[in-house]
Amino acid sequence: MKMRDKVEEMQDDLKQEKKITYAVTSDMARRYKSLQEDLIHKINTLETTLTEQKEELGTAMIFFLISNVSLSTQQSRSHLL
> In this predicted model, what pLDDT tens digit does every residue of 51-72 receive, in sequence order?
999 999 999 999 888 888 776 6
Element (DSSP H or E) covering residue 55: helix 3-80
When pLDDT is cut at 50, 70 and 90, the band that residue 78 belongs to is low
8: amino acid identity, one letter: E
Alpha carbon separation from 52 to 13, 49, 60 (Å, rounded):
58, 5, 12
When pLDDT is cut at 50, 70 and 90, the band that residue 45 belongs to is very high
pTM check: above 0.85 = no
Q: What are phi and psi of 19, to 5 degrees?
A: -65, -45
CA–CA separation, 48 and 56 (whole Å): 12
- Is residue 27 predicted with pLDDT exceeding 60? yes
